[in-house]
Amino acid sequence: MSQYLITGGVPISGKIKASGNKNAALPCIAAAILSSKPVILRNIPDIEDVQVMLDVYRSFGGSVERLEPNGYRLSLGDIKSSRVPAEAARKIRASILFAGPLIARTGKAVLPPPGGDVIGRRRLDTHFLALTELGAAVTTKRAFTFTAKKLKGADIFLDEASVTATENAVMAAVLADGKTIITNAASEPHVQDLCRMLRSMGAIIEGIGSNILTITGVKNLGPCDYSIGADYMEVGSFIGLAAATRGEMEITGPRPSDLRPAKIAFGKLGIVWEHEGAVLRVPKNQTLKINHDLGGMIPKIDDAPWPGFPPDLTSIIIVVATQVEGTVLVHEKMFESRMFFVDKLIGMGARIVLCDPHRAVISGPSRLAGSELTSPDVRAGMAMVIAAMTAEGSSVIRNVYQIERGYENLVSRLSALGAKIERQG
């Protein structure tokens, strides 16, 4: 099993280009099924999750041509299979995203239960609600089987603002008969990216960026050449890394609007950055000190669906808070197992009280010591990388497959910033 060997205590410094948004790339690959014409996708991150999604696309009879390091041409005429391979489904939760487009194109989709990160219960009920409202029948014995002679537009109210359920509903609705209204829709930047891609293919979608999407079905979709936006989760991780190591960084590519919720949360830790055009600059030697709420109260950072603070940055901000003077409460409201890596930080010397599975009180700054760690999921794994780079001495992080599912060429990119990190195995 591969692992990272990291020697901490080195401030990072340099320039880096933001990768494409993983959470936009995955649904956009699934959406390519909706057209029998070639679809070109650019700024696709070179990560494991993307390769798994491309393998699933190939399993339906599609061809994948690499045009450039982060660009692909996807072509799928006649669909040979409507079944997602079981092995791929176990590897990646995003395999559920093939349900909507497969039903829309073939009238059937068979999906084994999806795998992915172990961060608590991640219900699929909202997917079933949306697709059945559009006219699909569902059976759940061993695999999830969806069937529909023809999808029909519907007025859908989602029981939660699920990102992937919204994406599935949108992809199914673009080829349905009539008009579909999706209320309580997720509106994250990656959902917006998917909707813009579909519009470039000829879909009729209104309300992009809001929680009410109106889709008027069309008979077919055409080709497109679409470039997805920067991964603001990766950018947030790098901002945290720069601040925690007392370093500096220049990041090219992020959209300022994608980082507004993160800027408020990081600002509570005294962390600032400058955004000029397409370049974000994190200054070195920041005064990392908690900004108290009015009346000197301990501030709270809590996650929420967009435009709230992104839950994928909760792990990152917990680690960064260990290096900040003062006390902060972090409340993870969306996944009950997201904080189950906190005991490892405590073992490194962090002063954290884990109140329950959802809340942690962090007091800093703490001197962390190198340790042996195992990555449980993508974001906690990256949080461990940041912890190891701020710690005194050396750390070993195992199960780095989980980290590399979400971060492109991480070792080489961090090494170029001066990090002492080595991949072994």
Three-state SS for 255? Answer: coil
How long, in residues, is the chain?
425
Residue type, 322: T
Residues ≥6 apart with Cβ < 8 Å to 336: 120, 121, 357, 358
d(CA 338, CA 320): 16
Q: Active site residue: 49, 117, 231, 303, which one?
A: 117
- Token code pair at residue 239: 């901002």
Catalytic (active site) residue 356 = no
**Rounded CA separation 408/46 (Å):** 6
Burial category of 292 from C-beta neighbours within 10 Å (exposed 0-12, middle 13-18, buried 19 and up):
middle
Determine the Cα–Cα distance for residues 393 and 333; give it in Å rounded to an integer.
34
- 321 φ/ψ sector (left φ>0, alpha ψ -120 to 50, else beta): alpha
Residue written as token pair 């798994």? 52
Paired with 425 in beta bridges are none
Neighbours of 70 (CB within 10 A): 19
Q: What is the DSSP string of 22-71?
A: HHHHHHHHHHGGGBSS-EEEES---SHHHHHHHHHHHHTT-EEEEEETTE
3-state secondary structure (DSSP) of residue 132: helix
Query: 43 near 70, Cβ under 8 Å?
Result: yes
Distance CA 251, CA 346 (A): 31
H or E stretch at 316: helix 314-321
Q: Which of 234, 192, 203 is nearest to 49 (CA)?
A: 234
Active site residues: 117
